[in-house]
Amino acid sequence: MVKKLLKAGSLVSKEKLELHRVAHYTFFVGLLVAIVTGLFRNLLEPQVLVTTLVILGLVVGLLNLTAKETVPFLVACIALMLAGIVNLGLIPGVGLYLRSILSNIVVFVVPGAIIVGMKAIWKLASD
């Protein structure tokens, strides 16, 4: 009986590890999509791009974070959202590309920040 419980526990930890790995790959794919579409602004339709980035951000927010990663993730999200306010389009040459890349990254990160923030509030309320 104890062996079965230990095996079940290892299955749960393996499942969590797999979900965590999927979330990491999703994060890197989301960043790659945000950067590439920022450099090649006419590569995708805006609706398709935003939908893709939001879905990827939701997956990252739902699967990625452990309790110790919550605060650094939310601080990084705040920093990116504040940086998205800056009008980088004023920089000659690369400004429009930087603005586009940062806007895409913000669209990608915000859904994850909402999910993680709600998880943090739920955990605080339940304690």
Structure confidence at residue 6 as a pLDDT band (50, 70, 90): very low
What is the per-residue pLDDT across 35-48, written as a single tens digit (0 to 9) for each? 999 898 888 888 99
Structure confidence at residue 10 as a pLDDT band (50, 70, 90): low
Domain of 59, in residue numbers: 2-126
What percent of the chain is predicted at pLDDT more than 70? 85
- Which of the 8 DSSP states describes residue 86? S
- Which of the 8 DSSP states describes residue 84? T
Task: Give CA–CA dist 35/49, Å, rounded.
Answer: 12
Q: What is the pLDDT, as a whole number, of residue 65?
A: 64
**The whole model's pTM is what?**
0.79
Number of domains comprising the chain:
1
Task: Give CA–CA dist 97/125, Å, rounded.
Answer: 42
